[in-house]
Amino acid sequence: MDQLTGTTRQEGTHPCPGPEEAALLRQWDSLSGGFRRLMARLLDDVEAEAGVAPSSFQVLWFLLNSPDLSAPMNQLAQTLGFSTAGTTKVADRLAQAGMIERRPSATDRRVIFATLTDSGRDVAGTAALALAAALRERVVNQLGDDRFADLAAMIGSLDQVPNRPCD
């Protein structure tokens, strides 16, 4: 029994997690699966009410909270967690649908600003209301306000970059 890894490893056998690791992994399975299903239900609600796909909605909501209802492609990629290439194509679809417009920056001609159109503003608001309603119904009402806040705080505490040596 390897004290460091918890592996039970014998000659001629396969590497395999011990009972402690197995229990941990099963917990993680239900956690990640549950979160994935929850997310899917919420986004399905949004798509049913506002007719907008998840990644598109994330862009619309970000722009709705941005000054002048616009932001450079760069920032959109960051909030989406997408590559810049993927972000370009999300923006293509939104522009094709008439929800955003592309405007080159005056100060730095490399950057392109995405700006909400009037119709994009409507869709963004409608979708946001739909998500908020679904959240209250499916999450906050089930957990209670404080446990929901605990949940958000726990995940947030895990999201700190551990690669900042000292600041």
Partner DNA sequence: CAAGATTGAGACCTCAATCTTT
Partner DNA sequence: AAAGATTGAGGTCTCAATCTTG
Distances from the Cα of 89 to the Cα of 24, 53, 152, angstroms: 38, 13, 30
Q: Is 19 in the site for a copy of itself (CB under 8 A)?
A: no
User: How far apart are alpha carbons 95 and 165 in whole angstroms?
Assistant: 41
Is residue 32 close enough to count as binding a copy of itself by CB under 8 A? yes
Segment interacting with DNA, rule: CB under 7 A, options 13-21, 87-95, 135-143, 144-152: 87-95
The reply to whether 99 sits near DNA by the rule CB under 7 A is no
Please state, in angstroms and as integers, the Cα–Cα distance from residue 52 to each residue in 39, 93, 158, following that order: 15, 11, 30
CB of 10 to a copy of itself, least distance (A): 12
Q: Which two tokens stand for residue 158?
A: 């895990």
Q: Which of 64, 73, 97, 135 binds DNA (CB under 7 A)?
A: 73
Among 64, 70, 79, 102, binds DNA (CB under 7 A): 102
Q: Figure out which of the listed residues 11, 108, 118, 167 binds a copy of itself, where binding follows CB under 8 A.
A: 118
3-class DSSP assignment, residue 116: strand
Dist. CA 84–CA 8, nearest whole Å: 44
The first and second tokens of residue 29, run together, are 């399975």
The least CB distance from residue 51 to a copy of itself, in Å, is 14
Q: Which of 68, 147, 164, 166 binds a copy of itself (CB under 8 A)?
A: 147
- Residue 70's DSSP bridge partners are 115
Please identify which residue in 85, 106, 158, 166 interacts with a copy of itself, judged by CB under 8 A: 158
Q: 104 pairs with which residues across the strands?
A: 112
Chain residues binding DNA by CB under 7 A are 53-55, 72-74, 77, 81-93, 102, 108-112
